[in-house]
Structure 1
């Protein structure tokens, strides 16, 4: 492989972004023949084809998608460099690329990430939500700085990473006012037969919650299961059933939703982790997230109920 030519890389990037040589030609004000020739030369230098020719269309293949991810990072960083030069030395905005697994409640994700937004040098946050395996794969290829998850790195995932426990807390239970009045007295045994909204299979807390139900001898009527915690809360607010949430978000949840508190348990804990490729966290934003979570967010979780 020869030396990387960034002009070739830029032509490739614009073609990939616009979807065709013709549109890239119009954007770059360069003839289509020039772009086509430079693209072919770029593929020869890399020793790999980056597009599959489907009729008259170009479609990125697996190698092309990998190169595009690196090109995105390179040209995003180039844009940041231009902005930093305009703003002057010592005034560069930090960037944090964070993945949040879909089992983490969105309110919790915000509370965990909020301290990073308060850094004096400013922060540009790029936040992606998805399944754990997808996000961990992006972490392994350095597309993400950290992944916020409700469980540590699974042993069967081929990613060498490190788990940093941010904190843990018990669960609080909520319902619309009519259901809350009906089932608050005698909690938690009042939940026996009560309509209940259960977190989806990806939630690490789900099996612990079900074991707790079995241990205290109650069987709620499961009327819904939700991968999306925000959707579960919307159904709960509408009166479809009782739902639970981490104690650490109770104060904010009471302000956001027209629901009432039923009761709490510390026998079921929900945990939250920052998964990184570093054994020792060094990114200022991630350090702020961990410090605030340990010292304030989870330290005061019980008081909020």
Structure 2
């Protein structure tokens, strides 16, 4: 029996529900506002109920719209999984895992977090790095299976995202041998007279570092700010400045960048999160990552 609606109409409604307005949905879909409005009207006509109602300058879901949106989430999640499932059914050994990596998260930490799945036979790992807000938009469109970040997803009534804590790490200060030796004398006050490198204001770690400086009465000489933690460490290794790093990956960091530990950044921790679109995770590799986390 043919369904009583058009799946294209449903997709347009689903995007409008996520974006909270026809104009934003049209911009995301790359079509005219009139096209989106026509698709919505056609879907409501086919279903015989109103799915959206005006609220201020935007739209909100009716009770029927909430039910339709919940089902649409499942439908398009299944649609995104269809290619992989078909390949598996056809005997392909390829297992795809698309991961978004927030640019504020240390890359050595990312390697550690993904370690439980890296030995999967036929794994095809797709990593995309960028600002968390862009990655979350791609996650909501089911272009990614999960996002690894240094903070949970911010509240958004138009996006149903779920954060899963993967762990945390103490933070310490590091630098190349000569700079580290100079910094150990009178640490932590020495950080007020030596150059330091910091993550940019977009990082979840930055406010905690600024509070740490304030607690110790320090006014650091900031020689550089970086969105990318790996880039910050690379420049720190050249002697540009001392930099903070997660203790959990210290052995790998010391070996890769030939730096030394100066001292603890007491009271400062870095957190690691996996963000997904499902409360009950279905992707087997994502489930394995969560189970491997402390308390998973």
Q: TM-score, normalised by structure 2?
A: 0.69
1:202 matched to 2:202? The reply is yes
Question: Given that residues 99 and 148 in structure 2 are in contact (C-alpha distance below 8 angstroms), is that contact kept between their aligned partners in structure 1?
Answer: yes
Q: Please, which runs of 5 or more residues in structure 2 have no aligned partner?
A: 9-28, 33-77
Shift in Å, 1:101: 0.9
Q: Given the superposition, is the C-alpha separation of residues 154 and 229 from structure 1 closer, same or farther in structure 2, using an over 3 Å criterion?
A: same
- Residues 169 and 266, structure 1, Cα contact 8 Å, conserved in 2: no
Alignment partners' CA distance in 2, 1:192 and 1:268: 18
Counterpart Cα distance in 1 of 2:249 and 2:97? 23
SS of 1:170's equivalent?
A: strand
Specify the SS of the correspondent of 2:90.
helix
Q: Give the whole-Å Cα distance in 1 for the aligned partners of 2:95 and 2:152.
A: 26
Counterpart of 2:280 in 1: which secondary structure? Answer: coil
Alignment-derived partner of residue 97 in structure 1: 98
Partner of 1:107: helix, strand, or coil? helix
C-alpha separation in 1, matches of 2:158 and 2:6: 31
Map of 1:1-305 to 2, 5 A cutoff? 62-63=30-31, 81=86, 85=90, 92-119=93-120, 121-156=121-156, 158-294=158-294
Distance verdict in 2 for CA 1:157–1:250, change over 3 Å: farther
Q: Distance in 2 between matches of 1:78 and 1:291?
A: 25
**Per the alignment, in what secondary structure is the counterpart of residue 236 of structure 2?**
helix
Report the alpha carbon displacement of residue 131 of structure 1 after superposing the two structures with TM.
1.1
Query: Counterparts of 1:180 and 1:234 in 2: how far apart (Å)?
Result: 15
Q: Secondary structure at the match of 1:187?
A: coil
Distance 2:85 2:114 in 1: 22
| Post-superposition offset of 1:173 | 1.0
Contact 1:199 1:226 in 2 (8 A): yes
How far the C-alpha of 1:197 sits from its partner, in A, is 0.2
Offset of 1:284 from its aligned partner? 2.1
Structure with greater Cα Rg:
1
**How far has the Cα of 1:158 moved from its partner?**
3.6
Q: Flag the 1:151–1:76 CA change in 2: closer, same or farther, 3 A.
A: closer
CA distance in structure 2 between the aligned counterparts of 1:100 and 1:280, rounded to whole angstroms: 21
Residues 238, 157 of structure 1: CA spacing in aligned structure 2 closer, same or farther, 3 A cutoff?
Answer: farther
Does the CA-based 8 Å contact 1:94-1:122 persist in structure 2?
yes
Change in 2 beyond 3 A, CA 1:85/1:235: same
User: Once the 2 structures are TM-superposed, how far is the Cα of residue 268 of structure 1 from its aligned partner?
Assistant: 0.6
Task: Work out whether residues 166 and 273 of structure 1, in 8 Å CA contact, stay in contact via their aligned partners in 2.
Answer: yes
Q: Is the 8 A contact 2:80 2:142 kept in 1?
A: no
Cα-Cα RMSD: 3.0
Using the size of structure 1 for normalisation, the TM-score is 0.67
**SS of structure 1 residue aligned to 2:294:** helix
Q: Report the Cα distance in structure 1 between the residues aligned to 2:157 and 2:270, rounded to whole angstroms.
A: 22
Alpha carbons 1:198, 1:206 under 8 Å: kept: yes
Alignment coverage as a number of residue pairs: 230
